[in-house]
């Protein structure tokens, strides 16, 4: 029998599971742990050498089917029913294989914990009371947590209060999403007097298409922002970004006329630099996500978790629908959560540039947005605190088995 199974349902959830796993390994390296990436390939587990098990959801929507009928139709055609049936059967077969399960995400890993009939704790990183009743915790989720979950670790104090009132055993211990954002202090060659606008194109397959849209928006800045030569638009690129392939796509997009590739090819840090006749620059950075955030006065995001991390650091966010699964319906849902921490702009160059200009010209509004974002995302330190709590519950269960 293995000690712990981590079951997580999405890229961001896998990353959070990985952070908690790191802290568990530091505190108790002898633990026998496996991972179940329920949606996607589970790169966060592979990067840590964690063995993975279980059926995976590799459907077109990447887990967002319930937000958009068109995505649901694609998933149904690709085998939605069979995928979830295999996961349910697999969860039931896991009974007796693990001493504890750590569920990370939402109803899907909660259901896996229930079906496995194994003591489980839940890291509630996907939902929040800030979403309101439509996209917050449902009555079913609360009942399952109340009846079956040993302990729940919600992402913010407001949600902890809501779950406690529903009878769920929970503790707010910080938000793992806010861990690991300290940065290196690398200014990426940007001067102190220059204004940085962070650009988050996401980490999914549509990331490079989103980058082209955001560069087009940067090109619209001179129509909205005085002294555009001081602007530095900085991408936090995904690890798979290929500067040479992107340069080829960049050269065929008529919206980007005027921009030129000034440099490309480094493997880390600034891997590509674009220049505009108005003096603006676009920098593409790899392996510097926290540094990009901490340099930015405003962030424009077509991402998921990264957008939330930006508001958690108090950075005003312009959120834009992506060209992929995180489109308009997804962004409208996220705006219920963001509230005053973000503004919504259409995926159109002047709309994005105008939104950025409005924020740069309004420090008072930016200060209010910073307060709202920090309130929603909570405190760092959650990964280690939750790891300690998991070990406490694990040891309690072990002591109970010994006594029996």
Residues 389 and 368 in one domain: no
Determine, yes or no, domain membership for 188: no
Quote the domain boundaries for residue 43.
2-180+380-403
Q: Which residues contact 173 (CB under 8 A, 6 or more apart)?
A: 153, 381, 382, 385, 386, 389
Residues 373 and 385 in one domain: no
Counting Cβ atoms within 10 Å, is residue 245 exposed (0-12), middle (13-18) or buried (19+)? exposed
Residues 231 and 135 in one domain: no
Report how many domains make up the chain. 2
Quick one: pLDDT at residue 122?
99
Which of 201-205, 263-267, 318-322 bottoms out in mean pLDDT, i.e. has the lowest?
263-267
For 168-196, how does the pLDDT look when each residue is reduced to its tens digit (9 = 90+)?
Answer: 999 999 999 999 999 999 999 999 999 99
Say what percent of the chain tops pLDDT 90.
83
Q: Which residues contact 130 (CB under 8 A, 6 or more apart)?
A: 136, 156, 158, 159, 336, 337, 339, 376
Mean pLDDT within 226-242 = 95
Order the strands of the 342-344 sheet from edge to edge: 260-264, 269-275, 281-286, 231-236, 195-200, 298-301, 317-319, 342-344
Residues 257 and 304 in one domain: yes
Residues 168 and 200 in one domain: no
- pLDDT of 68 above 90: no
Residue 73 — very low, low, confident or very high, per pLDDT cuts 50/70/90? very high
Residues 99 and 244 in one domain: no
Task: Return the CA Rg of the chain.
Answer: 22
Determine, yes or no, domain membership for 187: no
Which of 187-201, 307-321, 371-385, 386-400 bottoms out in mean pLDDT, i.e. has the lowest?
386-400
- pLDDT of 104 above 60: yes
Determine, yes or no, domain membership for 344: yes
- pLDDT of 74 above 70: yes
Residue 402 — very low, low, confident or very high, per pLDDT cuts 50/70/90? low
Residue 401 — very low, low, confident or very high, per pLDDT cuts 50/70/90? low
CATH number for position 145: 3.40.50.2000
Which of 96-110, 134-148, 242-256, 273-287 bottoms out in mean pLDDT, i.e. has the lowest?
242-256
Residues 163 and 304 in one domain: no
Residue 404 — very low, low, confident or very high, per pLDDT cuts 50/70/90? low
With contact defined as beta carbons under 8 Å apart, do 221 and 356 qualify?
A: yes
Mean pLDDT within 41-60 = 94
Rounded to whole angstroms, the Cα distance separating 151 from 130 reads 21
Residues 293 and 387 in one domain: no
Residues 306 and 370 in one domain: yes
Quick one: pLDDT at residue 290?
97
- Per-residue exposure over 156-177, b if at least 16 CB sit within 10 Å of its own CB, e if not: beebbebbeeeebebebbbbbb
Residues 172 and 293 in one domain: no
Which of 130-134, 280-284, 388-392 bottoms out in mean pLDDT, i.e. has the lowest?
130-134
Start-to-end C-alpha separation, the chain: 18
Quick one: pLDDT at residue 65?
82
Residues 217 and 312 in one domain: yes
Indicate the average pLDDT of the chain: 94
pTM of the model: 0.92
Any alpha helices (H) in 28-130, and if so which ranges?
43-47, 69-78, 80-93, 107-116
Determine, yes or no, domain membership for 190: no
| Two structure tokens written together for 98 | 């693990």
Residue 62 — very low, low, confident or very high, per pLDDT cuts 50/70/90? confident
- pLDDT of 267 above 90: no
- CA angle in degrees (0–180, nearest 5) for 386-392-396: 145
For 315-341, how does the pLDDT look when each residue is reduced to its tens digit (9 = 90+)?
Answer: 999 999 998 888 999 999 999 999 999
Residues 391 and 357 in one domain: no
Determine, yes or no, domain membership for 185: no
Which of 203-207, 303-307, 364-368 bottoms out in mean pLDDT, i.e. has the lowest?
203-207
Determine, yes or no, domain membership for 351: yes
Residue 403 — very low, low, confident or very high, per pLDDT cuts 50/70/90? low
Determine, yes or no, domain membership for 226: yes
Determine, yes or no, domain membership for 227: yes
């Amino acid at each position: 029998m293995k000690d712990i199974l981590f079951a997580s349902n999405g890229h961001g959830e896998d990353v959070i599971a990985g952070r908690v796993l790191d802290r568990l390994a530091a505190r108790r390296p002898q633990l026998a742990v496996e991972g179940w990436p329920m949606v996607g390939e589970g790169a966060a587990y592979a990067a840590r050498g964690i063995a993975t098990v279980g059926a995976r959801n590799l459907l077109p929507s990447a887990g967002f089917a319930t937000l958009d009928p068109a995505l649901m139709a694609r998933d149904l055609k690709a085998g939605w029913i069979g995928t979830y049936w295999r996961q349910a059967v697999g969860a039931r077969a896991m009974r007796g294989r693990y001493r504890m399960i750590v569920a990370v995400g939402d109803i899907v890993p909660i259901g896996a914990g229930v079906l496995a009939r194994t003591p489980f704790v839940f890291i509630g990183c996907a939902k929040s009371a800030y979403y309101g009743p439509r996209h917050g915790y449902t009555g079913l989720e609360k009942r399952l947590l109340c009846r079956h979950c040993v302990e729940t670790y919600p992402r913010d104090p407001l949600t902890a209060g809501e779950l406690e009132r529903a009878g769920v055993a929970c503790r707010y211990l910080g938000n793992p999403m806010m861990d690991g954002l300290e940065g290196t202090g690398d200014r990426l060659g940007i001067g102190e007097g220059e204004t940085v606008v962070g650009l988050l194109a996401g980490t999914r397959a549509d990331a490079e298409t989103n980058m082209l849209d955001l560069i087009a928006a940067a090109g619209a800045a001179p129509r909205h922002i005085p002294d555009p030569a001081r602007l530095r638009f900085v991408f936090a690129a995904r690890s798979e970004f290929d500067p040479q392939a992107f340069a080829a796509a960049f050269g065929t997009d008529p919206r980007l006329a005027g921009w030129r590739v000034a440099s490309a090819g480094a493997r880390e840090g600034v891997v590509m630099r674009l220049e505009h006749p108005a003096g603006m620059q676009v920098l593409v950075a790899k392996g510097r996500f926290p540094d990009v955030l901490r340099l930015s006065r405003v962030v424009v995001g077509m991402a998921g978790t990264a957008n939330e991390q930006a508001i958690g650091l108090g950075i005003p966010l312009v959120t834009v629908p992506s060209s992929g699964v995180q489109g308009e319906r997804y962004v409208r849902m996220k705006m219920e959560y963001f509230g005053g921490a973000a503004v919504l702009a259409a995926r159109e160059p002047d709309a994005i540039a105008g939104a950025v200009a409005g924020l740069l010209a309004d420090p008072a509004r930016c200060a209010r947005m910073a307060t709202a974002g920090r309130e929603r995302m909570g405190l760092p330190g959650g990964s280690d605190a939750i790891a300690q709590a998991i070990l406490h519950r694990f040891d309690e269960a072990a002591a109970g088995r010994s006594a029996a």
